[in-house]
Amino acid sequence: MLKLPNALRTRNALITAVGVVMIAGTTTVVAQTTPMEPIQWDKRRLDQLDRNVRRLERAVTQRNAAGQPVLVEPDPEVVALQGRVDLMTRRLSDLEATVQRVNADIERLTFAVDESKRDNAALGTRLRDAEGRVRAMEQAAAREAELNSPISSTSPTGDPARDLAAAVRLAATDPALGDRALQTVTLAWPDTPQAREAFSRIGDLRVSGADFDNAVRAYSSALRGWPTAPWAAATTLELVNALNSADRKTDACGALTEFNTRYAPTASAAQRARATEIGTRLACTPARAPARRGG
């Protein structure tokens, strides 16, 4: 038996077969076990190897033709190497399959995370909306409780003029709370000029809310005793309109008569013109107004 070289790099491929040539069927050559020195494959050695391989091929062909087949046994190292390559190939295939499964799982997880982010964003929006509605409901409930609580009769500043000024400012921005503040002035400081003016302004707020009956009551409280305050003439005309709107035309004409009697002489031209327009519109019996003082 003859041991061939481990690898033959010639022509189109490597010849990696090591064979044992059976000569005469009985002669056996024991394979060498001593490791050989590594061969430096240069062009000369490769050419020589190629020639040897060609001679070996011709010898094998001739023996096969002569009925003396040549048996070639693979090198155990080559077999072991091929086994390792096969094992590595299988492991690589398993690894590729695992990577594909991991990639698929990652894609599914990524999609799930994206969906979770979208769901969280939607839930966050709904939560903020719900919180906003709850705050609005709480504020509305607190405001409703404040508006329905008893009117305080305690002065917030200890001075009627300052109380009235604060109530007027509040009424300009929040009529409902301003109405309550004006009522506080009337309760905390009754029988004062500020209380009368507060009633007048309460009447204006009630007219703007089409609450003409309560407007008439407020104007009447302001004009009790027919004061000579600067706001009295305008308040009297507002009383006339409120009475007419409350279907009390006769009382409206009576209040207009009081205006012509008490306030027209010192009223402004615009106020007198308005009184004339109201009298014409209501068809009130004209009353002779005293001459304006000072001409």
As a whole number, the mean pLDDT across the chain is 81
Over range 46-57, report the average pLDDT.
Answer: 84
pLDDT for the residue 216? 95
**Residue 26 has what pLDDT?**
39
Average pLDDT on 142-152 reads 80
Domain 160-282 class in CATH: mainly alpha
pLDDT tens digits, residue range 235-274? Answer: 999 999 999 999 999 999 999 999 999 999 989 999 999 9
User: Average pLDDT in the 161-167 region?
Assistant: 94
Domain coordinates in residue numbering, the chain: 8-74, 80-149, 160-282
Cα dihedral 283/287/290/291 (nearest 10): 50
pLDDT of 36 reads: 64
pLDDT at residue 13 is higher than 60: no
% residues pLDDT > 70 (the chain): 82
Dihedral of CA 168/173/179/183: which sign? negative
SS (H, E, C) 240-264: HHHHHHCCCHHHHHHHHHHHHHHHH
